[in-house]
Amino acid sequence: MTDNDQRHATERKYPELYEKLVPVALGVILVAIVVVLIIAAAIALGLFSGK
């Protein structure tokens, strides 16, 4: 991100609801990705019977 983008980002705001919800949703998605990858690894290792 350029300095210009950084400055504009601090000036711009989403509506308050989204300012709170978006980082929470992003965090949940990242955790979910990790969980899915762990499950995939477990299937690959034969811990579950996979598709």
Side-chain half-sphere of 27: how many Cα atoms within 13 Å?
Answer: 5
Determine the distance from the C-alpha atom of residue 2 to the mean position of all C-alpha atoms in its chain, rounded to a whole number: 23
We find the least distance from the C-beta atom of residue 44 to another protein, in angstroms, to be 5
We find the least distance from the C-beta atom of residue 51 to another protein, in angstroms, to be 5
We find the least distance from the C-beta atom of residue 8 to another protein, in angstroms, to be 7
- Binding positions for another protein, rule: CB under 8 A: 1, 5, 8-9, 12-15, 18, 22-23, 25-26, 29-30, 32-33, 35-37, 39-40, 43-44, 48-51
User: Which residue's structure tokens are 């965090």?
Assistant: 27
